Protein backbone atom coordinates (compact mmCIF):
# COMPACT_ATOMS: atom_id res chain seq x y z
CA UNK A 1 0.00 0.00 0.00
CA UNK A 2 2.94 2.34 0.51
CA UNK A 3 4.30 4.24 -2.46
CA UNK A 4 6.39 6.73 -0.52
CA UNK A 5 8.69 7.22 2.45
CA UNK A 6 9.10 10.22 4.65
CA UNK A 7 12.76 10.61 5.53
CA UNK A 8 13.53 12.23 8.86
CA UNK A 9 16.96 13.55 9.57
CA UNK A 10 18.70 15.12 12.54
CA UNK A 11 18.10 18.79 13.01
CA UNK A 12 21.16 19.60 15.08
CA UNK A 13 23.69 21.75 13.28
CA UNK A 14 21.57 22.04 10.19
CA UNK A 15 20.13 25.45 10.63
CA UNK A 16 20.33 28.23 8.06
CA UNK A 17 22.70 27.87 5.15
CA UNK A 18 24.08 24.56 6.44
CA UNK A 19 20.72 23.00 6.08
CA UNK A 20 20.96 23.10 2.29
CA UNK A 21 24.42 21.61 2.25
CA UNK A 22 23.18 18.87 4.55
CA UNK A 23 19.98 18.22 2.59
CA UNK A 24 21.72 18.26 -0.78
CA UNK A 25 24.28 15.75 0.42
CA UNK A 26 21.55 13.58 1.87
CA UNK A 27 19.48 13.68 -1.32
CA UNK A 28 22.40 12.88 -3.55
CA UNK A 29 23.31 9.88 -1.40
CA UNK A 30 19.69 8.70 -1.37
CA UNK A 31 19.70 8.84 -5.18
CA UNK A 32 22.93 6.87 -5.25
CA UNK A 33 21.69 4.01 -3.06
CA UNK A 34 18.32 3.87 -4.81
CA UNK A 35 19.99 3.55 -8.18
CA UNK A 36 20.78 -0.04 -7.15
CA UNK A 37 17.28 -0.81 -5.83
CA UNK A 38 14.51 -2.13 -8.02
CA UNK A 39 12.14 0.64 -9.12
CA UNK A 40 12.09 4.30 -10.17
CA UNK A 41 11.99 6.99 -7.53
CA UNK A 42 11.30 10.68 -7.23
CA UNK A 43 12.74 12.68 -4.37
CA UNK A 44 10.72 15.58 -3.10
CA UNK A 45 12.09 18.18 -0.76
CA UNK A 46 9.52 20.16 1.16
CA UNK A 47 9.95 22.50 4.11
CA UNK A 48 12.21 20.43 6.31
CA UNK A 49 10.99 17.14 4.93
CA UNK A 50 12.32 14.76 2.33
CA UNK A 51 9.99 12.31 0.64
CA UNK A 52 11.05 9.39 -1.52
CA UNK A 53 8.22 8.47 -3.83
CA UNK A 54 8.20 5.34 -5.98
CA UNK A 55 6.98 5.80 -9.51
CA UNK A 56 5.28 2.51 -10.28
CA UNK A 57 6.33 -0.89 -9.00
CA UNK A 58 9.24 -1.17 -6.60
CA UNK A 59 10.73 -3.60 -4.12
CA UNK A 60 9.69 -2.41 -0.66
CA UNK A 61 12.21 -4.40 1.42
CA UNK A 62 15.11 -3.58 -0.84
CA UNK A 63 14.20 0.10 -0.78
CA UNK A 64 14.00 0.21 3.01
CA UNK A 65 17.29 -1.69 3.29
CA UNK A 66 18.96 0.81 0.94
CA UNK A 67 17.62 3.82 2.86
CA UNK A 68 18.88 2.26 6.10
CA UNK A 69 22.41 2.59 4.71
CA UNK A 70 22.17 6.35 4.18
CA UNK A 71 24.04 8.24 6.88
CA UNK A 72 22.13 11.24 8.15
CA UNK A 73 18.80 9.43 8.03
CA UNK A 74 17.29 9.22 11.51
CA UNK A 75 14.11 7.44 10.49
CA UNK A 76 12.27 6.13 7.51
CA UNK A 77 8.49 6.34 7.65
CA UNK A 78 6.41 4.52 5.05
CA UNK A 79 3.76 7.09 4.21
CA UNK A 80 0.51 7.20 2.29
CA UNK A 81 0.31 10.43 0.31
CA UNK A 82 -3.07 11.80 -0.77
CA UNK A 83 -4.27 14.84 -2.56
CA UNK A 84 -6.08 17.25 -0.27
CA UNK A 85 -9.75 16.66 -1.02
CA UNK A 86 -11.15 17.83 2.26
CA UNK A 87 -11.72 16.25 5.64
CA UNK A 88 -14.20 13.55 4.65
CA UNK A 89 -11.86 12.12 2.06
CA UNK A 90 -9.04 12.22 4.60
CA UNK A 91 -11.17 10.40 7.14
CA UNK A 92 -11.96 7.63 4.62
CA UNK A 93 -8.28 7.27 3.83
CA UNK A 94 -7.33 7.12 7.51
CA UNK A 95 -9.86 4.39 8.26
CA UNK A 96 -8.66 2.26 5.40
CA UNK A 97 -5.04 2.91 6.45
CA UNK A 98 -5.75 1.69 9.99
CA UNK A 99 -7.63 -1.33 8.68
CA UNK A 100 -4.84 -2.28 6.30
CA UNK A 101 -1.93 -1.77 8.68
CA UNK A 102 -3.44 -2.87 12.02
CA UNK A 103 -6.57 -4.84 11.14
CA UNK A 104 -8.46 -5.57 14.32
CA UNK A 105 -5.39 -5.54 16.55
CA UNK A 106 -6.03 -4.56 20.11
CA UNK A 107 -3.90 -1.51 20.81
CA UNK A 108 -3.71 2.01 22.19
CA UNK A 109 -3.13 4.92 19.84
CA UNK A 110 -3.34 8.62 19.42
CA UNK A 111 -3.65 10.83 16.36
CA UNK A 112 -1.11 13.60 15.97
CA UNK A 113 -1.77 16.20 13.29
CA UNK A 114 0.63 18.79 11.91
CA UNK A 115 -1.00 21.50 9.91
CA UNK A 116 1.62 23.11 7.69
CA UNK A 117 -0.98 24.20 5.15
CA UNK A 118 -2.83 26.89 7.08
CA UNK A 119 -5.55 26.92 4.40
CA UNK A 120 -6.84 23.60 5.69
CA UNK A 121 -10.19 24.54 7.22
CA UNK A 122 -9.79 22.71 10.55
CA UNK A 123 -7.22 23.21 13.29
CA UNK A 124 -4.81 20.37 13.96
CA UNK A 125 -6.29 19.51 17.37
CA UNK A 126 -9.72 19.33 15.84
CA UNK A 127 -8.52 17.03 13.06
CA UNK A 128 -6.84 14.71 15.60
CA UNK A 129 -9.88 14.57 17.87
CA UNK A 130 -12.35 13.96 15.05
CA UNK A 131 -10.21 11.25 13.42
CA UNK A 132 -9.54 9.62 16.80
CA UNK A 133 -13.31 9.43 17.41
CA UNK A 134 -13.96 7.83 14.05
CA UNK A 135 -11.23 5.25 14.57
CA UNK A 136 -12.77 4.34 17.95
CA UNK A 137 -16.16 3.95 16.27
CA UNK A 138 -14.81 1.58 13.63
CA UNK A 139 -12.28 -0.43 15.61
CA UNK A 140 -13.69 -1.58 18.94
CA UNK A 141 -10.36 -3.18 19.98
CA UNK A 142 -8.57 0.14 19.96
CA UNK A 143 -8.43 2.76 22.65
CA UNK A 144 -6.86 6.16 22.98
CA UNK A 145 -3.87 6.79 25.21
CA UNK A 146 -2.51 10.30 24.77
CA UNK A 147 0.51 9.79 27.05
CA UNK A 148 1.98 6.40 26.11
CA UNK A 149 0.23 5.16 23.00
CA UNK A 150 1.52 2.03 21.28
CA UNK A 151 0.89 3.66 17.93
CA UNK A 152 1.03 7.31 16.95
CA UNK A 153 -0.90 7.98 13.80
CA UNK A 154 0.66 11.02 12.17
CA UNK A 155 -1.31 13.22 9.83
CA UNK A 156 0.65 15.84 7.92
CA UNK A 157 -1.46 18.51 6.29
CA UNK A 158 0.57 20.08 3.54
CA UNK A 159 -0.36 20.96 -0.03
CA UNK A 160 -1.01 17.23 -0.08
CA UNK A 161 -1.62 14.98 2.92
CA UNK A 162 0.60 12.34 4.48
CA UNK A 163 -0.52 9.52 6.78
CA UNK A 164 2.09 7.45 8.61
CA UNK A 165 2.59 5.56 11.83
CA UNK A 166 5.50 3.23 11.26
CA UNK A 167 8.95 4.54 12.10
CA UNK A 168 11.92 2.49 10.90
CA UNK A 169 15.20 3.61 12.46
CA UNK A 170 17.95 4.81 10.09
CA UNK A 171 21.64 4.80 10.91
CA UNK A 172 21.80 8.44 12.06
CA UNK A 173 25.06 10.31 11.59
CA UNK A 174 25.79 12.96 8.96
CA UNK A 175 25.36 12.70 5.18
CA UNK A 176 28.42 11.62 3.25
CA UNK A 177 30.40 14.48 1.83
CA UNK A 178 29.60 16.96 4.58
CA UNK A 179 32.94 16.35 6.29
CA UNK A 180 35.74 15.94 3.79
CA UNK A 181 37.69 12.79 3.04
CA UNK A 182 39.97 10.50 5.02
CA UNK A 183 42.33 7.61 4.29
CA UNK A 184 41.47 4.34 6.03
CA UNK A 185 44.20 1.80 6.74
CA UNK A 186 42.20 -1.25 5.78
CA UNK A 187 43.48 -4.70 6.73
CA UNK A 188 41.61 -7.96 6.48
CA UNK A 189 40.72 -7.93 10.18
CA UNK A 190 37.54 -7.21 12.09
CA UNK A 191 38.42 -3.74 13.31
CA UNK A 192 39.41 -1.54 10.40
CA UNK A 193 36.20 -2.02 8.35
CA UNK A 194 34.23 -0.99 11.45
CA UNK A 195 36.51 2.02 11.97
CA UNK A 196 35.92 3.12 8.37
CA UNK A 197 32.18 2.71 8.77
CA UNK A 198 32.16 4.80 11.94
CA UNK A 199 34.12 7.70 10.53
CA UNK A 200 32.07 7.67 7.31
CA UNK A 201 28.96 7.81 9.47
CA UNK A 202 30.04 11.29 10.49
CA UNK A 203 29.85 12.41 6.87
CA UNK A 204 33.43 11.64 5.84
CA UNK A 205 34.24 10.10 2.45
CA UNK A 206 36.64 7.20 2.75
CA UNK A 207 39.54 6.06 0.61
CA UNK A 208 41.62 3.12 1.73
CA UNK A 209 45.12 1.71 1.69
CA UNK A 210 46.05 -1.93 2.09
CA UNK A 211 49.64 -3.10 2.65
CA UNK A 212 50.15 -6.27 0.75
CA UNK A 213 53.24 -8.46 1.24
CA UNK A 214 53.45 -11.11 -1.44
CA UNK A 215 54.40 -13.93 -1.28
CA UNK A 216 53.90 -13.81 2.50
CA UNK A 217 50.35 -12.68 1.98
CA UNK A 218 48.39 -14.38 -0.78
CA UNK A 219 46.12 -13.09 -3.54
CA UNK A 220 43.27 -14.51 -1.47
CA UNK A 221 44.23 -12.22 1.41
CA UNK A 222 44.16 -9.26 -0.95
CA UNK A 223 40.83 -10.37 -2.38
CA UNK A 224 39.48 -10.51 1.16
CA UNK A 225 40.38 -6.84 1.64
CA UNK A 226 38.75 -5.95 -1.69
CA UNK A 227 35.63 -7.83 -0.56
CA UNK A 228 35.62 -5.98 2.76
CA UNK A 229 36.00 -2.65 0.97
CA UNK A 230 32.98 -3.58 -1.17
CA UNK A 231 30.90 -4.35 1.91
CA UNK A 232 31.95 -1.11 3.60
CA UNK A 233 31.27 0.89 0.43
CA UNK A 234 27.60 -0.05 0.60
CA UNK A 235 27.52 2.50 3.41
CA UNK A 236 30.43 4.79 2.61
CA UNK A 237 29.95 5.17 -1.13
CA UNK A 238 32.75 4.47 -3.63
CA UNK A 239 36.17 3.73 -2.17
CA UNK A 240 39.45 4.08 -4.00
CA UNK A 241 41.61 1.30 -2.60
CA UNK A 242 45.37 1.75 -2.85
CA UNK A 243 47.21 -1.55 -2.68
CA UNK A 244 50.80 -0.97 -1.64
CA UNK A 245 53.42 -3.64 -2.03
CA UNK A 246 55.07 -3.75 1.36
CA UNK A 247 57.29 -6.82 1.04
CA UNK A 248 60.63 -5.13 0.41
CA UNK A 249 60.19 -2.63 3.21
CA UNK A 250 59.15 -5.36 5.59
CA UNK A 251 62.10 -7.59 4.65
CA UNK A 252 64.50 -4.70 4.98
CA UNK A 253 63.23 -3.83 8.47
CA UNK A 254 63.50 -7.51 9.37
CA UNK A 255 67.07 -7.60 8.16
CA UNK A 256 68.27 -4.40 9.83
CA UNK A 257 66.27 -3.73 13.00
CA UNK A 258 65.87 -5.49 16.34
CA UNK A 259 63.17 -8.09 15.92
CA UNK A 260 61.24 -7.10 19.01
CA UNK A 261 60.74 -3.66 17.46
CA UNK A 262 59.71 -4.94 14.09
CA UNK A 263 55.97 -4.48 14.43
CA UNK A 264 56.25 -0.92 15.69
CA UNK A 265 58.69 0.09 12.99
CA UNK A 266 56.55 -1.54 10.35
CA UNK A 267 53.51 0.29 11.63
CA UNK A 268 55.40 3.57 11.52
CA UNK A 269 56.18 2.95 7.85
CA UNK A 270 52.56 2.11 7.15
CA UNK A 271 51.55 5.41 8.71
CA UNK A 272 54.18 7.34 6.75
CA UNK A 273 53.05 5.82 3.47
CA UNK A 274 49.36 6.25 4.25
CA UNK A 275 49.98 9.86 5.15
CA UNK A 276 51.79 10.57 1.89
CA UNK A 277 48.96 8.92 -0.06
CA UNK A 278 46.44 10.93 1.93
CA UNK A 279 48.23 14.18 1.19
CA UNK A 280 48.41 13.37 -2.51
CA UNK A 281 44.71 12.55 -2.76
CA UNK A 282 43.10 15.30 -0.73
CA UNK A 283 42.48 13.27 2.41
CA UNK A 284 42.73 15.32 5.59
CA UNK A 285 43.13 12.53 8.15
CA UNK A 286 44.02 8.87 8.60
CA UNK A 287 41.68 6.26 10.09
CA UNK A 288 42.77 3.04 11.82
CA UNK A 289 41.06 0.25 13.71
CA UNK A 290 43.38 0.47 16.70
CA UNK A 291 42.03 -0.06 20.20
CA UNK A 292 43.96 0.37 23.43
CA UNK A 293 45.59 -2.80 24.68
CA UNK A 294 44.21 -5.14 22.05
CA UNK A 295 47.66 -6.39 21.00
CA UNK A 296 51.28 -5.51 21.79
CA UNK A 297 51.34 -2.88 19.07
CA UNK A 298 48.34 -1.16 20.59
CA UNK A 299 49.48 -0.44 24.13
CA UNK A 300 49.40 3.26 24.88
CA UNK A 301 53.20 3.34 24.53
CA UNK A 302 53.03 1.58 21.16
CA UNK A 303 50.28 3.86 19.93
CA UNK A 304 52.36 6.86 20.96
CA UNK A 305 55.40 5.46 19.16
CA UNK A 306 53.31 4.83 16.04
CA UNK A 307 51.71 8.23 16.19
CA UNK A 308 55.11 9.88 16.46
CA UNK A 309 55.48 9.83 12.65
CA UNK A 310 52.05 11.30 11.92
CA UNK A 311 51.58 14.99 11.26
CA UNK A 312 47.96 14.74 10.16
CA UNK A 313 45.15 13.77 12.51
CA UNK A 314 44.69 10.03 13.01
CA UNK A 315 41.13 9.01 13.80
CA UNK A 316 40.87 5.87 15.90
CA UNK A 317 37.13 5.54 16.49
CA UNK A 318 37.52 2.16 18.25
CA UNK A 319 40.18 3.32 20.65
CA UNK A 320 38.15 2.63 23.80
CA UNK A 321 35.93 -0.16 22.49
CA UNK A 322 36.02 -3.72 23.75
CA UNK A 323 36.40 -6.37 21.07
CA UNK A 324 32.91 -7.62 21.78
CA UNK A 325 31.39 -4.24 20.96
CA UNK A 326 33.40 -4.02 17.77
CA UNK A 327 32.20 -7.48 16.77
CA UNK A 328 28.60 -6.39 17.35
CA UNK A 329 29.01 -3.54 14.86
CA UNK A 330 30.91 -5.76 12.39
CA UNK A 331 27.96 -8.15 12.43
CA UNK A 332 25.47 -5.35 12.02
CA UNK A 333 27.24 -3.98 8.94
CA UNK A 334 27.85 -7.46 7.54
CA UNK A 335 31.65 -7.41 7.47
CA UNK A 336 32.17 -9.91 10.28
CA UNK A 337 31.81 -13.14 8.30
CA UNK A 338 34.34 -11.95 5.74
CA UNK A 339 36.74 -10.58 8.36
CA UNK A 340 37.03 -13.90 10.15
CA UNK A 341 38.03 -15.86 7.04
CA UNK A 342 41.45 -17.24 7.85
CA UNK A 343 43.88 -15.55 5.49
CA UNK A 344 47.26 -14.41 6.67
CA UNK A 345 48.02 -10.80 7.46
CA UNK A 346 51.30 -9.10 6.61
CA UNK A 347 51.90 -8.31 10.27
CA UNK A 348 51.62 -11.90 11.46
CA UNK A 349 54.21 -13.28 9.07
CA UNK A 350 57.12 -11.43 10.60
CA UNK A 351 55.85 -10.93 14.07
CA UNK A 352 58.40 -11.43 16.86
CA UNK A 353 57.80 -13.94 19.66
CA UNK A 354 58.23 -11.25 22.27
CA UNK A 355 57.50 -7.86 20.76
CA UNK A 356 58.21 -4.77 22.85
CA UNK A 357 55.07 -3.64 24.61
CA UNK A 358 56.49 -0.40 25.98
CA UNK A 359 58.61 0.95 23.16
CA UNK A 360 60.54 4.16 23.79
CA UNK A 361 60.16 6.57 20.90
CA UNK A 362 63.83 7.55 21.12
CA UNK A 363 64.97 3.95 20.80
CA UNK A 364 62.67 3.31 17.86
CA UNK A 365 63.92 6.41 16.08
CA UNK A 366 67.51 5.23 16.62
CA UNK A 367 66.73 1.80 15.22
CA UNK A 368 65.20 3.36 12.15
CA UNK A 369 68.52 5.05 11.41
CA UNK A 370 69.72 1.57 10.46
CA UNK A 371 67.37 1.77 7.47
CA UNK A 372 68.77 5.01 6.12
CA UNK A 373 70.63 3.58 3.19
CA UNK A 374 67.77 2.11 1.21
CA UNK A 375 64.47 2.99 2.82
CA UNK A 376 63.91 6.20 0.82
CA UNK A 377 64.32 4.37 -2.42
CA UNK A 378 62.07 1.54 -1.24
CA UNK A 379 59.31 3.95 -0.30
CA UNK A 380 59.58 5.53 -3.77
CA UNK A 381 59.29 2.08 -5.26
CA UNK A 382 56.25 1.28 -3.12
CA UNK A 383 54.46 4.40 -4.38
CA UNK A 384 55.54 3.74 -7.97
CA UNK A 385 54.11 0.23 -7.94
CA UNK A 386 50.84 0.92 -6.15
CA UNK A 387 47.79 -0.73 -7.59
CA UNK A 388 44.49 1.13 -7.47
CA UNK A 389 41.20 -0.74 -7.18
CA UNK A 390 38.05 1.34 -7.61
CA UNK A 391 35.38 -0.09 -5.35
CA UNK A 392 31.67 0.55 -5.72
CA UNK A 393 31.88 2.90 -8.73
- Could you tell me the CA-to-CA distances from 277 to 30, 222, 251, 388 in Å, in that order? 29, 19, 22, 12
Residue 288 touches which of ligand ATP, Mg ion, none (Cβ within 5-8 Å per kind): ligand ATP
State the minimum distance, in angstroms, from the CB of residue 383 to ligand ATP.
15
State the minimum distance, in angstroms, from the CB of residue 213 to Mg ion.
13
Q: Which residue has its beta carbon closest to ligand ATP?
A: 189
Q: Is 187 in the site for ligand ATP (CB under 6 A)?
A: yes
CB atoms within 10 A of CB 95: 16
Q: Phi, psi (5° rounding) for residue 156?
A: -110, 115
Site map (CB under 6 A) of ligand ATP, residues 15-34, x = contact: --------------------
Residue 157 or 314 having the CB closest to ligand ATP: 314
State the minimum distance, in angstroms, from the CB of residue 187 to Mg ion.
4
Burial 44-75 (b: 16+ CB within 10 A, else e): eeeeebbbbebeeebebeebbebbbbbbbbeb
Residue 90 or 274 having the CB closest to ligand ATP: 274
Q: Find the binder of ligand ATP among 161, 346, 382, 391 (CB under 6 A).
A: 346
Please provide the DSSP assignment of 103-157 as one string: TT--EEEEEEEEE--TTSSS-HHHHHHHHHHHHHHH-TTEEE-SSS-SEEEEEEE
Segment lying near ligand ATP (by CB under 6 A), choices 31-39, 162-170, 187-195, 249-257? 187-195
Q: Find the binder of Mg ion among 113, 178, 179, 187 (CB under 5 A).
A: 187
How many residues lie near ligand ATP (CB under 6 A)?
A: 20
Residue 326 touches which of Mg ion, ligand ATP, none (Cβ within 5-8 Å per kind): none
Q: Which residues on adjacent β-strands are paired with residue 18?
A: none
Q: Find the binder of Mg ion among 72, 175, 177, 189 (CB under 5 A).
A: 189
Burial 312-336 (b: 16+ CB within 10 A, else e): bebbbbbbebeeeebbebbeebebb
Whether the CB-CB separation of 361 and 221 falls below 8 Å is answered with no
Binding residues among 156-185 for ligand ATP as defined by CB under 6 A: 185
The span from the CA of 310 to the CA of 296, in Å, is: 20
Residue 290 touches which of Mg ion, ligand ATP, none (Cβ within 5-8 Å per kind): ligand ATP
State the minimum distance, in angstroms, from the CB of residue 181 to Mg ion.
23
Whether the CB-CB separation of 289 and 191 falls below 8 Å is answered with yes
Binding residues among 280-319 for ligand ATP as defined by CB under 6 A: 288-290, 294-295, 297-298
Q: Find the binder of ligand ATP among 23, 156, 191, 368 (CB under 6 A).
A: 191
Contacts of 111 (CB under 8 A, 6+ apart): 127, 128, 129, 131, 132, 135, 152, 153, 155
State the minimum distance, in angstroms, from the CB of residue 305 to Mg ion.
18
The site for Mg ion (CB under 5 A) is made up of 187, 189, 345
Amino acid sequence: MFQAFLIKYGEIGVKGKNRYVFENALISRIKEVLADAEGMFRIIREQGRIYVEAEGAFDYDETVAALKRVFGVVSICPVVLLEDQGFEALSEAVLSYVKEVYGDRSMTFKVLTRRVNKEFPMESMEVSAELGGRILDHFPNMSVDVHHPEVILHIELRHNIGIYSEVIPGPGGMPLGTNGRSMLLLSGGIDSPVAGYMVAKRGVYIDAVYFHAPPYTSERAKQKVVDLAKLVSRYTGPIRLHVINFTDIQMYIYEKCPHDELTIIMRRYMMRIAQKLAEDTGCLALVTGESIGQVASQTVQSLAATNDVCAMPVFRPLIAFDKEDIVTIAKKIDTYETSILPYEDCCTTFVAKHPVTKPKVEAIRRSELLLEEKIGEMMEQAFATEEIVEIGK
